[in-house]
Chain A
Amino acid sequence: MPNVFDATNPPFDRLTSQEVETLRAALDIAYFRPGETIIAQNAPASELFVVIKGTVEERDGADLQALLGPKDSFDSRALVHGKSGHAFVAREETLCYTCPKHVTLGLIQSNPRFASFFYREISHKLDELARDEEERRYGSLMRARVSELFLHPPVFINASDTIEAAGHLMREIGSNALFVRDGERIGIITGMNLSKAVVLRRQRIETPVREFAHFEVVTLRPDDFVSSALVLMTKHNKRRLAVHDGERYVGILEDIDLLGFLAGSAQIVAGRIDRASSEDELAVAAREISAQVRTLRRQGVRVEVIGEVVSDLNRRLLSRLFEMVAPSEIRTSGCLVVMGSEGRGEQTVRTDQDNGLILAGPVDKATLDTFRTDFSTALADFGFPPCPGNVMVRNSAWSKPFSDYLADFRRWVALPDESAHMNVAIFYDACAVAGDERLLTKAKTTLIDLIHGEQAYLAHFARAVDAFPTPIGLFNKLITSEGKGDALDLKKGGIFPIVHGIRSLAIEHGLLETATDKRIARLRDIGVLQASFARELSQTFQFLLMLRLDGQLAASAGTSGTLVRPSSLSSMERDLLRDAFQVVKQFRELVRHHFNLGMF
C-alpha cells in the first residue's frame, strides 16, 4: 500500500518511517455490508481494523457503546488479549484497512510508544493527551524569553546604606527589590527583608542593610527561556532571580511576575470588580470575565482551574452587586446563594442566573420586591440571561425567609414529585456568595438531615441518572446543510450522569462540598468509591468538561455547545471519548446497584 494509508493518524503517528512501511506493505482492505458482524462479542480477532469509510457500531449485547468512524481503529482488546469484550458491527457500507495480527503485535513489540496506546488504562491515556495539549499550549509560553517578562529595574544600594534609605529607594522606584553592592559581592534585598529586620529582629532603621541581604544570588540571562527561570526558582527555592546580560545586571525577575505571565490577567479583573463603585463599572468588568475563559483555555490552563477562576469572578461580581443593590436590612439578615452548576463551580462560559436569597426572618415586602427586581435586572444587563426554570432571586419561591424554605424541604422530601427532586438537586449544590453564610449551612444540614436514611427517597432521587437511557448511543443524527452528521450530547450523555450520580451519593453521605470533583475525592476518602475508579471518574469528568468548553468556545450563535460532532474531534480525542463513556457507563451501573434502582 503506497502512501494512501494516513500514518499521521494516532496511534500510527508514533511509528518510525520504517515501521510505517512495514505496516503499509501488510495492509489489505475489507468491505462490510450493513449489519455484518466484523468482530463477534468475546471472539478473538486476527486483524486490526482501521475505518476508511462508513460507521461501525461497538455493541455490548443489545447496548450500543460507541460509533466508530473514519480513522478509528479497533479492537485492541480482541487483538492483544485474544478476546473482544464487545461486538463490532458495520452500520453502513463500511470499508476498513486490515492489518494482520502478527504485524500489529510485531509493531507493538518493537515500539513501546505505539504499544502504550493499546495497553494503557484510560486515565493514563487521558493524562497523556492532557500533557500533549499542555505542551502544545503552554509550549509557546514556556519558550518565551526572560527578556519578554516584566523585570524590576536594576537599582543598586550600598551594603553600608541604612534600612531607612533602602525603604525610601524602594518606594521611589516602585519596586520591592534592590541589588546590594558589598565590595565584590552582589546581593538582593527585599521589602520583606527590611520589615522582618525591623519588626521581628527589632533592628533600628539606621542599621546598614548588609546583614539582611541575600548574597547567594542566582542569575540568568535575558535570552534564557522562561521555562529555565521556573526551573531555577524551584531548584534553588528562590522567589527572585537576577538577570545579567554578560556585562551588567539588567533587572530582577520576581516569581509573581513570572506566574502572572503564565496565568493571564484574571486577578486584574478581580481587582476591577472589587473596586467598581457603580453598576456601570461592574458591567464593564462583567464583560471581561467571559474574555478570560478564552485566554485561560488558550494558555492551556486545566478546565477545572478555569471553572474555579471563572466562578470566583462571577461570585465576586454577584457579591459586589449585592452590596450595591441590597438595602442594609437584606444585606445583614440575608444570604445570597448561587445554585446548580454555578454553585458547583463547573460553569465556564456565561451562564443563566441560578441564584436565590435566604432571609433570616421576614422583611418588608415592598423593599424585598424592589430588591428582587433590581438585582435580577442588573444581572440581565450584565449578560447573565434569566434562568429558564426561573430559579432566581426575582422569583419569590427562591427568595424568602429560612422558615419558608424549611416548609419547602419537608414538602420536597415527604411528597416528592419531579420538580421536588430537581429543587433538592439545585439547592444541594448551592454555595453562599454574600451575606450570612451560616443561613445556607443551616438550611443545607436541615435538608440533609431530612433526607438521611430515607433510602426510598434517595433511590427515587438517584434514578435521574437513567433519565437519558443510552448515553453512549446518544449520537443524535442531525441533518445539516452538508448532509448527515453525528453529533453527540455531552451534557446528557456524560456530564449529567456523573454530576447527578455523585450528587446522590454525596447527599446520602451528608457531604457539604459542592464541586463534583471535591465530592468524588471525599467519597473516595470515606470509602464509597475505590481510589482507582475515583481517579478515572474525575479525569473522565474533566475531559468531558474540557470538550464541552471547547465546543462552547467554538460554537457560533445558535448552538448550545454541548453537542459535539465526533467528526470534528481528533481521532485521539474520539478514542478517549469512547473510553470516557465507558467509565460513565460503569459509574451508572455502580449508582444503579448502590441505590438498588433495579427495583423500579
Chain B
Amino acid sequence: MFKPGPADEAVAIDCETTGLNVRTDDVITIAAIKIRGNRILTSERFQAVLRPDALMQAEAIKVHRQRQIDVAQGSLIWTTLPAFLHFIGGRPLVGYYVDFDIAMLDKYILTLIGIELPNPRIEISKLYYERKYGDAPPNTTIDLSFAAILKDLGIPALAQHDAFNDALMSAMMYVELRDMKDRGVRIARPRTRGAIFNPMGG
C-alpha cells in the first residue's frame, strides 16, 4: 500500500453512505474501478455491499441509529476491506469530493490496520475548476456540481447514487480532464452576451 502503484494507473472510487456525517453515518456500498492509461477497466471492478439492510432502509437507520444492526453486519466490513485494500494497492484514488469517501473508509481502515489510507488523491472538482475557472476573472459564478461537469464534458448521465455508476462517471471525467490538461485545452465559460448567431436561420 505504501509502494506507489503501477505507473499511469489510478482507481476511481465512490461510496454510498447513509448520510453526510463522517462520525455518525455508515458506508453502504463501495465501488472502485481501475484506470490504466486512457482505459477504464470496468471488466476488473471492485464492488461490495457492506450494509445490505441499509440499502433497503437507509432512511430508517439514519433516524433510529440502529447500532445493533451495525454489530450484526459489522463482519461484512471486516471481510470486505482487505479485498478492497488489495484492489487499490498504492494507486492514486480518483473521485468527486474524494476526501469525504476516504474519510468514511478511514473510519474502518484505521480500526482494521491502524493507519489511514496513504494513497495520493485526485480530486475531480479540482481538475474541472482548473480547466474551466483557472483563468476566470473575479466575480465569475462558479459551479462545480457533478451535473455541470457531466454537461461540460458531454458524458452521459448514468443513474446516480449508485456507487458503481458514480465511480464510472468520475473515471470518465478523469480521463477526459487529464487529457485536456495535457493538451492545455480549456472548457469554455458561457458568454454573458446573447446566443451564437445561427446562419441557417430558425
Q: Say whether A30 faces chain B, with CB atoms less than 8 Å apart.
A: yes
Q: How far is the CB of B154 from chain A (nearest CB, A)?
A: 5
- A163 in contact (CB, < 8 A): no
Chain A residues within an 8 Å CB radius of B38: 30-33
Task: Tell whether A479 pairs with B176 under 8 Å between CB atoms, given A28-B43, A33-B183.
Answer: no
B202 at the binding interface (Cβ < 8 Å): yes
Chain B residues within an 8 Å CB radius of A70: 156
Give which listed residue, A31, A558, A559, contacts B172 with CB less than 8 A: A31
* A30 in complex: contacting residue of B40, B158, B198, CB < 8 Å: B40
Closest to A35 in B: B183
A54 at the interface (CB under 8 A from B): yes
Contact indicator B202/A31 (Cβ below 8 Å)? no
CB distance from B128 to the nearest CB of A (A): 14
* A52 lies within 8 A of chain B by Cβ: yes
Tell me, rounded to whole Å, the shortest Cβ–Cβ distance linking B95 to chain A: 17
Which listed residue (B42, B164, B165, B179) contacts A28, Cβ 8 A? Answer: B42
A29-B200 contact in complex given A52-B156, A95-B176, C-beta closer than 8 Å: no
Residues of chain A lying within 8 A (CB to CB) of residue B200: 478-479
Contacts of A32 in B (CB 8 A): 38
> Would you call B199 an interface residue if the criterion is a C-beta within 8 Å of the partner chain's C-beta atoms?
yes
Q: How far is the CA of A584 from the CA of B195 in the complex (A)?
A: 37
Whether the Cβ atoms of B179 and A29 lie closer than 8 Å is no
Cβ contacts under 8 Å, A43 to chain B: none
Say yes or no: A53 contacts B40, CB within 8 Å.
no
Q: Which chain B residues numbered 184 to 202 have a C-beta less than 8 Å away from chain A? A: 195-202
The contact of B165 among A4, A29, A54, by CB within 8 Å, is A4
A472-517 CB contacts (< 8 Å) to partner B: 478-481
- A93 and B153 contacting across the interface, CB-CB below 8 Å: yes
Task: Flag if A31 contacts B168 (CB, 8 Å).
Answer: no
In the assembled complex, which residues on chain A have CB atoms less than 8 Å from the CB atom of B42? Answer: 1, 27-29
Contact in complex: A26, B43 (CB < 8 Å): yes
Distance, CA A92 to CA B164, complexed state (A): 26
A478: B residues at CB distance < 8 A: 198, 200
**Chain A interface residue count: which class?**
20 to 34
Name the B residues within 8 Å of A284 (CB-CB).
none
Please, which residues of chain B bring their CB within 8 A of the CB of A2?
Answer: 164-165
CB interface residues, A 1-48, toward B, < 8 Å: 1-2, 4, 25-33
- Chain B, residues 46-87, CB within 8 Å of chain A (1/0): the string is 000000000000000000000000000000000000000000
A558→B198 CA distance, assembly (Å) = 14
Please measure, in the bound complex, the distance between the C-alpha atom of A98 and the C-alpha atom of B183, giving whole angstroms: 24
Partner of A479, one of B39, B158, B198: B198
| B40 contact from A25, A31, A93, A480, Cβ within 8 A | A31
Q: Which residue of A lies closest to B174 (CB)?
A: A31
- Are B155 and A53 in contact, CB atoms less than 8 angstroms apart? yes
Tell me, rounded to whole Å, the shortest Cβ–Cβ distance linking B118 to chain A: 27
B175 at the interface (CB under 8 A from A): yes
B156 engages A480 (CB within 8 Å): no
Interface: B171 (CB within 8 A): yes
Cβ B43 vs Cβ A93 within 8 A? no
Q: Is the CB of B179 within 8 A of A93?
A: yes
* Assembly CA distance A155 to B4 (angstroms): 94
Instruction: Give A516 to B171 CA distance when docked, in angstroms.
Output: 52
Instruction: Give, as a whole number of angstroms, the nearest-CB distance from A24 to chain B.
Output: 9
Q: Which residue of A lies closest to B155 (CB)?
A: A53
Are the CB atoms of A479 and B199 closer together than 8 Å?
Answer: yes
Q: Judge whether A28 and B202 touch: CB under 8 Å.
A: no
Contact with A along B145-158 (1 / 0, CB 8 A): 00000000111101
Residues of B within 8 A of A54 (CB): 154
Q: Are A28 and B154 in contact (CB under 8 A)?
A: no
Are B180 and A28 in touch, CB under 8 angstroms? no
Complexed CA–CA distance, A32 and B175 (Å): 9
Which B residues are CB-close (under 8 A) to A558? 201-202
Query: Does A4 lie within 8 Å of B176, measured CB to CB?
Result: no
Q: Which residue of B lies closest to A92 (CB)?
A: B154
CB-CB under 8 A from B168, the residues of chain A are 4, 29
Q: Is the CB of A4 within 8 A of B158?
A: yes
- Minimum CB distance partner of A54 in chain B: B154
Are B172 and A29 in touch, CB under 8 angstroms? yes
| Interface status of B110 (Cβ within 8 A of chain A) | no
Q: Are A30 and B39 in contact (CB under 8 A)?
A: yes
In angstroms, Cα B145 to Cα A250, docked, is 69
Q: List the B side residues contacting A481 at CB < 8 Å.
A: 195
Q: Is B112 interfacial (CB 8 A cutoff)?
A: no
Contacts of B196 in A (CB 8 A): 479
Please tell me which one of the listed residues A1, A29, A53, A98 contacts residue B171 in the complex, with CB atoms under 8 A apart: A29
In angstroms, Cα B169 to Cα A52, docked, is 12
B55 vs chain A, min Cβ distance (A): 14
Given contacts A53-B155, A93-B153, A559-B202, contact A25 B43 (CB under 8 A): yes
A98: chain B residues at CB < 8 Å are: 39
Are B198 and A480 neighbours in the complex by a CB distance under 8 Å? Answer: yes
User: Beyond A1-B43, A53-B154, A53-B156, is A31–B175 a contact (Cβ under 8 Å)?
Assistant: yes
Least CB distance from B48 to A in Å reads 13
Some 20 contacts from A to B, beta carbons below 8 A apart, are A1-B42, A1-B43, A4-B158, A4-B165, A28-B41, A29-B39, A29-B40, A30-B38, A31-B39, A31-B175, A52-B156, A52-B172, A53-B155, A93-B153, A95-B176, A478-B198, A479-B196, A480-B198, A558-B202, A559-B202
Chain A positions near chain B (C-beta within 8 angstroms): 1-2, 4, 25-33, 52-54, 70, 92-93, 95, 98, 478-481, 558-559
List 8 A-B pairs, minimum CB-CB distance, nearest first.
A29-B40, A31-B175, A31-B38, A479-B198, A1-B42, A33-B179, A53-B154, A30-B39
Given contact pairs A31-B179, A52-B155, a sample of 13 additional A-B residue pairs in the complex whose CB atoms are under 8 Å apart: A1-B43, A4-B158, A31-B172, A31-B176, A53-B153, A92-B154, A93-B176, A93-B179, A95-B175, A481-B195, A558-B201, A558-B202, A559-B202
